[in-house]
Amino acid sequence: MDVANEENPLEKQLTRLDVQEVAEDGSYGIEVRITDEKTLNELKNIFEQVKWYPTRQVLMASREDIKATLFMKLEENKPKKSFEYRIWFEKDQTATILSTNLMELNGTLDKENTEILIEELLKKR
């Protein structure tokens, strides 16, 4: 099993991803759990394309579109660690992502990868 250091969580093995759509009123939809290894690898590859800005603070004017919790295996024989990602899909078809990982904090994703991310996260399972 691949494991890595705390600074870059995507170097670790992504073992699960829980995703919820967020309604305009701020309520959360049904949580969907993704555990399929192929889908997790695709999502991991997409999140690796995010340009992170760990020193830039941002305030968003609206609620996020998606809340995703990524579960990572950090070390053998240790519990999994989770990182919450709040994702906004922008009018220009890119995404803004806020992370609970202080090494990432906030980032942006380009159009091409945002399209794939939307498809994977909102896929009906």
Structure-block tokens of residue 19: 């995703």
Residues 12/74, Cβ–Cβ less than 8 Å: yes
pTM equals 0.84
- C-alpha distances in Å from residue 47, one per residue of 21, 76, 95, 116, 122: 18, 23, 11, 11, 15
The pLDDT of residue 5 is above 50: no
As beta bridge partners, residue 52 has: 107
Residue 52's pLDDT band, with cuts at 50, 70 and 90, is very high
Element (H, E) at 34: strand 32-34
